[in-house]
Amino acid sequence: MDKDEVTYIAAKYGKYLGGIDYASILNHINEEDERLRLVEERLLGYPIKEAPREDLGDARRLCAELDALRLEEKRYMEIVNEVKLRGLTKPHVDKAMRRLGTIRGNIRTVRRILKYLGDPLKCL
Question: Does the structure show a pLDDT above 90 at 75?
Answer: yes
Q: In terms of pLDDT, which residue wins out, 14 or 69? A: 69
pLDDT at site 1: 63
Q: Is the dihedral of CA 53, 56, 59, 65 positive or negative?
A: negative
Domain boundaries, the chain: 3-44, 57-117
HEC string of the chain equals: CCHHHHHHHHHHHHHHCCCCCHHHHHHHHHHHHHHHHHHHHHHHCCCCCCCCCCCCHHHHHHHHHHHHHHHHHHHHHHHHHHHHHHCCCHHHHHHHHHHHHHHHHHHHHHHHHHHHHCCCCCCC
**Residue 60: is its pLDDT beyond 90?**
no
Per-residue model confidence (pLDDT) at position 102:
94
Average pLDDT over residues 53-73: 87
pLDDT at 119: 83
Cα 63 from Cα 47, distance rounded (Å): 33
Q: 16-55: per-residue pLDDT in tens?
A: 777 677 778 778 877 887 888 888 888 888 887 776 767 6
At residue 63, does pLDDT exceed 80? yes
For 65-97, b/e burial (b = at least 16 CB within 10 A) is bbeebeebbeebeebbeebeeeeeeeeeeeebe
pTM of the model: 0.56
Return mean pLDDT, the chain: 83
